[in-house]
A and B are shown apart, each in its own frame.
Chain A
Amino acid sequence: MATERKKAKKNSRFWEVMRRLRKNRLAMAGLVFLLLMILISIFAPLIAPYGYETQDLYNMFALPSAEHPFGTDNLGRDIFSRIIYGGRASLTIGFASVAVSAVFGMTLGAIAGYYGGKVDMVIMRVLDVFQAVPAILMSIAISATLGPGLVNAILAIGLSTIPGYSRMTRASFMSVQGMEYIEAARAIHCGDRRIMLKHVLPNAVSPMIVQMTMGVGSCISVAAMLSFIGLGVQPPSPEWGAMLSAGRNYIRDYWHIVLFPGLAIMLTVLSLNMLGDGLRDALDPRLKN
């Protein structure tokens, strides 16, 4: 029997998931690319050949060359360096806004799903109203109200995606709630808080992890969009979406100005999605072994 297999006591679940994830090549490729991007962003000053503001006025609109691997932009700045620095803003926005919406969304969803009845009714109707406005429009509205800037962009994107997390958390709380071990916990007089945190949450968290992974990608896209319309991170700070936006006037003649930031966004979002897909499979208990 499987019982005879000795297992590390703690974290066994984490390693179990990692073991299954390792079998998925696409997910691993996504994970490696992502880690690489994070490392590059952290060590940007060490890696970037130029500063993100350094102008080379003799070399504006330069095509990719040995000197400037991705070429230079309209102000003669090295695009390669700006992408490396830009990763800081883009990835920060991606992860931070997911954190914001996950914390608020999951809390609301958990309360709605656990207590049900009137509480559920009130929370869900409020979220319905919230969700009636498209998320993108909502983030534009919030961002326009709060004003441009990194932190405001995070808040705008994070708040606008709350309903999705709430719904998912609520649904998965409700399904776990039907299990007999929740009843068993009640029978030994477990309090609500403890039941929620110890019995329901750990068993309901898998779909949320997947959602969050995928969410980082879409948040980066939305951030890019906000910068593109001038609401996100402000120049001269580099951010991929802002770079894309700045380059749009020259797209006919100088393709490289938009190609490389576009590729950076695309590859990051793609790798996050591949990782998310892989995680979904790895976390699914029905696919054990």
Chain B
Amino acid sequence: MSGESLISVKDLVVEYTSGEDVVHAVNGVSFELNAGETLGLVGETGAGKTTIAKSILGILPDPPAKIRGGEIFMDGKNMLKLSQKEMRKVRGNKIAMIFQDPMTALNPMFVVGDQIAEVIRLHEKISKAGAAKKSMELLEMVGIPGERGREYPHQFSGGMKQRVVIAMALACNPQVLLADEPTTALDVTIQAQVLEMMMRLRDQRGTSMLMITHDLGIVAEVCDKVAVIYAGEIVEMGTKEHIFDFTSHPYTEGLFGSLPNLNTKTKRLKPIPGMMPNPSSLPAGCKFHPRCPYATEACKTETVPLFETEPGHLVRCLRRDPRQVR
């Protein structure tokens, strides 16, 4: 793993306007994705995970979404300042995205082989025959017989469709793959197949990956580093070992407590009480304090920064404030 930073996101702030309400979807998120590394973005519905990925790819619908601040650097260029035309070159060539629902990414009117070939021809100067041949190779690569490229999306099952989408995303050898819940819609045994394949291709090609998921099991398997997102903020970030073995933020703790454990007999789950705050009126202080079992008066008012408890392990919790004597 080379440690070179490929994408760096700094203080990203994204808002959505809906009617009179302003939804604070992403509130100052910073992280780096290094070459050859897989970063997991973990969080629940509405935490802002997908918004972050869409900001990187420059495909946020504006309106209603609006990037209010921050920078996203790739190759030394601030991607938020690129023109639509320059951004189109980045998409596909350097960054590609896989969505949760493979059906939305495929056009039901065309055979899948042609759709992959079209993506190749958009980004590469290559003959029609060359692109067709390459699209067959890509299908074989994701474990689909090349001749099935002549079939339409509806002739494929869900898992197969997701493979096609992955083949499409990898068509131009992107350096970064943004995977937004790529296996959530799939059955477990199919999920296992697809994950295995994604990891194999990632390792072969040295692709960096941003893995968006709510499933800590997938994180344990796929990711090197993890960022836990809550209400549009990173509440804990570190290596996989930091997050799983030295869980520090009460929210991360709560997520683990909510999961039934397969290996030990759990008598009763320890869920996080309450629910996600309304992103259009977030609580003051620590955004997790209304649900936190350790919340103190300070948590209700003070803005909590990320504390580095160990090199590379960041926690947004006053209990980890190194200035406080314990």
Asked if B18 is at the interface (CB within 8 A of a chain A CB), the reply is: yes
Contact in complex: A289, B18 (CB < 8 Å) = yes
B291 CB to nearest A CB, Å = 14
A182 CB to nearest B CB, Å = 25
- In this complex, what residue of A is CB-closest to B17? A289
Which residues of chain A from 238 to 289 have a CB within 8 Å of any chain B CB? 289
Q: How many A-B residue pairs have CB under 8 A?
A: 5
Which residues of chain A from 8 to 24 have a CB within 8 Å of any chain B CB? none
Q: In the complex, A1 Cα to B277 Cα: how many Å? A: 7
Contact in complex: A1, B278 (CB < 8 Å) = yes
Q: In the complex, A2 Cα to B19 Cα: how many Å? A: 13
B324 CB to nearest A CB, Å = 33
Q: In the complex, A289 Cα to B23 Cα: how many Å? A: 13
B18 contacts across to A, CB distance below 8 A:
289
Q: In the complex, A1 Cα to B280 Cα: how many Å? A: 8
- In this complex, what residue of A is CB-closest to B277? A1
B19 CB to nearest A CB, Å = 5
Contact in complex: B19, A289 (CB < 8 Å) = yes
A2 contacts across to B, CB distance below 8 A:
278
- In this complex, what residue of A is CB-closest to B276? A1
B159 CB to nearest A CB, Å = 25
Which residues of chain B from 252 to 285 have a CB within 8 Å of any chain A CB? 275, 278
B278 contacts across to A, CB distance below 8 A:
1-2
A1 contacts across to B, CB distance below 8 A:
275, 278
B280 CB to nearest A CB, Å = 9
Q: In the complex, A289 Cα to B17 Cα: how many Å? A: 10
B275 contacts across to A, CB distance below 8 A:
1
B19 contacts across to A, CB distance below 8 A:
289
B219 CB to nearest A CB, Å = 28
- In this complex, what residue of A is CB-closest to B278? A1
Which residues of chain B from 1 to 53 have a CB within 8 Å of any chain A CB? 18-19
A289 contacts across to B, CB distance below 8 A:
18-19
Q: In the complex, A1 Cα to B18 Cα: how many Å? A: 14
Q: In the complex, A289 Cα to B275 Cα: how many Å? A: 23
B196 CB to nearest A CB, Å = 34
B43 CB to nearest A CB, Å = 18
Which residues of chain B from 178 to 227 have a CB within 8 Å of any chain A CB? none
B274 CB to nearest A CB, Å = 11
A18 CB to nearest B CB, Å = 15
- In this complex, what residue of A is CB-closest to B20? A289
A145 CB to nearest B CB, Å = 48
A54 CB to nearest B CB, Å = 54
B48 CB to nearest A CB, Å = 17
Q: In the complex, A289 Cα to B18 Cα: how many Å? A: 6
A169 CB to nearest B CB, Å = 28
Q: In the complex, A289 Cα to B19 Cα: how many Å? A: 6
- What mask results when residues 24 to 57 of chain A are scored 1 for a CB within 8 Å of chain B, else 0? 0000000000000000000000000000000000
- In this complex, what residue of B is CB-closest to A3? B278
Q: In the complex, A1 Cα to B21 Cα: how many Å? A: 11
Q: In the complex, A289 Cα to B278 Cα: how many Å? A: 16
Q: In the complex, A1 Cα to B275 Cα: how many Å? A: 10
- In this complex, what residue of B is CB-closest to A4? B278
A51 CB to nearest B CB, Å = 52
- In this complex, what residue of A is CB-closest to B275? A1
B305 CB to nearest A CB, Å = 28
Q: In the complex, A1 Cα to B282 Cα: how many Å? A: 10
B212 CB to nearest A CB, Å = 24
- In this complex, what residue of B is CB-closest to A1? B278
B279 CB to nearest A CB, Å = 10
B277 CB to nearest A CB, Å = 9
Which residues of chain B from 273 to 324 have a CB within 8 Å of any chain A CB? 275, 278
B273 CB to nearest A CB, Å = 15
B46 CB to nearest A CB, Å = 11
Which residues of chain A from 143 to 176 have a CB within 8 Å of any chain B CB? none
- What mask results when residues 168 to 197 of chain A are scored 1 for a CB within 8 Å of chain B, else 0? 000000000000000000000000000000
B44 CB to nearest A CB, Å = 15
Q: In the complex, A39 Cα to B275 Cα: how many Å? A: 52
A29 CB to nearest B CB, Å = 23
- In this complex, what residue of B is CB-closest to A20? B19
Q: In the complex, A2 Cα to B278 Cα: how many Å? A: 8
Q: In the complex, A289 Cα to B280 Cα: how many Å? A: 14
Q: In the complex, A183 Cα to B18 Cα: how many Å? A: 33
- In this complex, what residue of A is CB-closest to B21? A289
Q: Write the residues of chain B forming the contact surface with A, with a CB cutoff of 8 angstroms.
A: 18-19, 275, 278
Q: Sample 5 A-B pairs with CB under 8 A, ordered by A number.
A: A1-B275, A1-B278, A2-B278, A289-B18, A289-B19
Closest CB pairs A-B (n = 4)? A289-B18, A289-B19, A1-B278, A2-B278
